[in-house]
Structures are given as structure tokens and as C-alpha cells.
Copies of this chain bind each other. A is one copy, B any other.
Amino acid sequence: MIENQQQFASDNYAGICPEAWASMAEANQGHVPAYGEDPWTTRASDAFRRLFGTACEVFFVFNGTAANSLALAALCQSYHSVICAAVAHVETDECGAPEFFSNGSKLLVAPGGGSKLTPAAIRAIATSRSDIHYPKPRVVTITQPTETGQVYDLEELRALSATCRELGLRLHMDGARFANACASLGCSPAEMTWQAGVEVLCFGGTKNGLAVGEAILFFDPALAEDFDYRCKQAGQLASKMRFLSAPWTGMLDSGAWLRNGAHANACARRLAAQIEDLPGVTLMFPVQANAVFLQMAPAVQEALRGRGWRFYTFIGGGARFMFAWDSRPDRVDELARDLREIVTGAAVPL
């Protein structure tokens, strides 16, 4: 029933990585107090503080939708608004969760199709209205890397946060693929977050190799006031918390979090390198993380599907390939080969 042929449709098609699994197994010993009063949760929180080199507040929740929504709800009231890119996951793929958790905060989408926000775009939105008939901008959320696999560099991040500070806006980072961004920039987690002015980070665990769970880090502890109550009320407090927290210890202590990200990025580059010269196949975005978006003729897409490949086309109609911690290089090569055969072969009229 399980597909034998590995796919690159999504990085959440992958399972649990060995380090996370081992920590779960280790944590599955005997009885410990519930709701985070266990030693594993303390260890995992400390591991995050060490990794980020700061005394941040750490919370473990079930998934990315909840992590983002809870963080945003903590930063704004219902009559505030959140500035985001048009392709931001919070806008396009969370079924109105940010609006639900915040009881109505509106997402204000930056004009222009880019996946990255710019200081100018933020300023334009934040200053376009200042009357009470429109929700007051209060938070900027950026995705790092973005939904199209772009990575904000440190300078860009610092410019964004300077703009936010100037305009009285909070800065939140959706790091569903945070590890991929770190691996891409080769910088430290601290440099990419609080040192660059990010105030709250959602650090993605699921796509990084966990079974379930994301970490929310508040670099300004004042912003985390009563956040534990918020999580509890919103159905995001795990009773057997150790199974959400312990896997992080395995990931962080072993460095697997970064290795996993680096591997997935490498697979993306591997594919890109093999197809860049193909006629009629265009890279839609520079490959900076673990995603490759390819523009190609419908017939080519069709032919690829005919050879058993699964992929999504929801961004600009292009074919998205998203690599995971366990993507197999030989399958990457197969995909490149199939694509080459289709494009260069006689069977497909382009």
C-alpha cells in the first residue's frame, strides 16, 4: 500500500529521522509528569537556549499552523493586522487559522508576487491607512525560507527588522523549514533570528524529521507572558509532552537538525544542476533551500506524471519538487533523467 518509489511532492511525505526516533524511544521509559513537567522538556528547552545562545522562552506545540497562529495571536489583538507576502503559508494554506486564533486579525498581503517581503512593501502597507476603519498593522511575518525556497540573507533580515522597529511593528518568523535556511546561509540560528531583530520564531520540527511538533521561541520573554495559558486553551498543550520535546534533544544535540536541512538543500541543488540546460524547462526561482520550482509545458508535466512522478503546481503553475531529510540522490537523478528524456525525446510534442 505504501508507495515504493520515493516522491518529492512534499517534504512532509517523509517519516521520522533516526535521531528523533531514538530520542522518542529513549523517552519512552517509565512514568514522568505530564504537561511539560518532565525532564525531557526541560532538556529540550535548554538545548534550544544553547543553540540560540540566549535565554529565550520555548514552547512545544503540535503543528505549524498552530505555531504560527498562536505566535501571531500573542502579538496582536483582533483589530490589528498582520503583514505578509501573497504566497505566505499563513495566507494561502492555513484555512484562516490566523484569523481564527486571533479572533479576526486580518492578513494584509503585500502587493507584487514575490515571496519575500521588502522594507518598502512593509512601509507601503503599514502607512497606507491610519484610520480606525481598517485593522491597525501590528506584526510582520516572514517565512524563512519562503514558500518558493528563497532565503532572506542577514542584511535583508536586519533591514526588515529596522523597518519594523521604526513603524512599531513586531517581527515574526515562520521557520517551518528553519534548518534549511540555516544550512543555506551557513550562519548561526542566533544570527538569523534575535541578532537580526526577529522577535518570535516558529522552528519547524515536522519537516525537519520529527513525527509531530514545532517549537515556538520568544526572544523577548515579555512577549511570552501567559503564553502557556494560550497554548492550553487552544488545544496545543500535549499531556505526554515528552514525546513532543524529547525528539528535539536528539535533533539538536546530534546536529541532525542542520544535517537534515543541508541534505535536503543539496538534493535540490543536485536536481537543479542536472536540468538547468534543458530546453523548455526553466527554474522559476533561484535554488536557495530545499525546493525546486520548474516551469515547463503542460505536456511535459503530463509526461512526468505518466512516469509516476507526483508534484504540486499551486505556485504559478510550475512543478514543485521539495526535498526531505531522507531524499535519495539516486531518485533525484532518476527525476532529472526522466525529465531530460521527456524534453529531449521524440514522444512529447512541446
Give chain A's interface residues, CB within 8 Å of chain B. Answer: 1-4, 6-7, 9-10, 12-16, 21, 24, 27-35, 39, 61-66, 69-70, 77-81, 92-97, 99-101, 103-106, 132-136, 206-207, 211-212, 226, 228-230, 232-240, 242-244, 324
Contact = CB atoms under 8 A, between A and B. Distances in A.
10 contacts: A6-B30, A15-B29, A61-B235, A63-B239, A78-B96, A80-B226, A95-B133, A99-B104, A211-B243, A212-B244
Contacts of A230: 77-79
Contacts of A65: 232, 235, 237
Nearest to A133: B93
Q: How many copies does the complex hold?
A: 4
B226 A238 contact: no
A81 B95 CA distance: 9
Given A96-B105, A136-B226, A238 B63 contact: yes
Nearest to A18: B28
B39 A12 contact: no
A14 B239 CA distance: 10
Contact of A13 (B33, B97, B238): B33
Contacts of A101: 104, 235
Contacts of A133: 35, 92-95, 232
A226 B95 contact: no
Q: Which secondary structure characterizes the binding site on chain A?
A: loop
Given A236-B235, A238-B63, A31 B16 contact: no
A167 to B, nearest CB: 15
Contacts of A105: 96, 99
Determine which residue in A81, A93, A95, A230 has the highest number of CB atoms from chain B within 10 A of its CB, and name it: A95
Contact of A6 (B31, B106, B232): B31
A39 to B, nearest CB: 4
B95 A240 contact: no
Given A30-B3, A34-B13, A99-B99, A78 B39 contact: no
A100 to B, nearest CB: 3
Given A9-B33, A15-B30, A211-B240, A235 B78 contact: no
B132 A240 contact: no
Contacts of A238: 62-63, 212
Given A80-B226, A93-B133, A93-B134, 13 more contacts: A2-B30, A3-B31, A16-B240, A35-B132, A66-B236, A78-B99, A78-B103, A79-B100, A79-B226, A95-B132, A96-B105, A99-B104, A100-B103
7 closest A-B pairs by CB: A66-B235, A100-B104, A1-B39, A99-B104, A79-B229, A103-B103, A13-B31
A28 B39 contact: no
Contacts of A70: 235
Nearest to A138: B226
Determine which residue in A3, A62, A207 has the highest number of CB atoms from chain B within 10 A of its CB, and name it: A62
A104 B94 contact: no
A234 B78 CA distance: 10
A96 B77 contact: no
Nearest to A106: B96
A229 B132 contact: yes
A299 B239 CA distance: 30
Contact of A104 (B32, B233, B239): B233
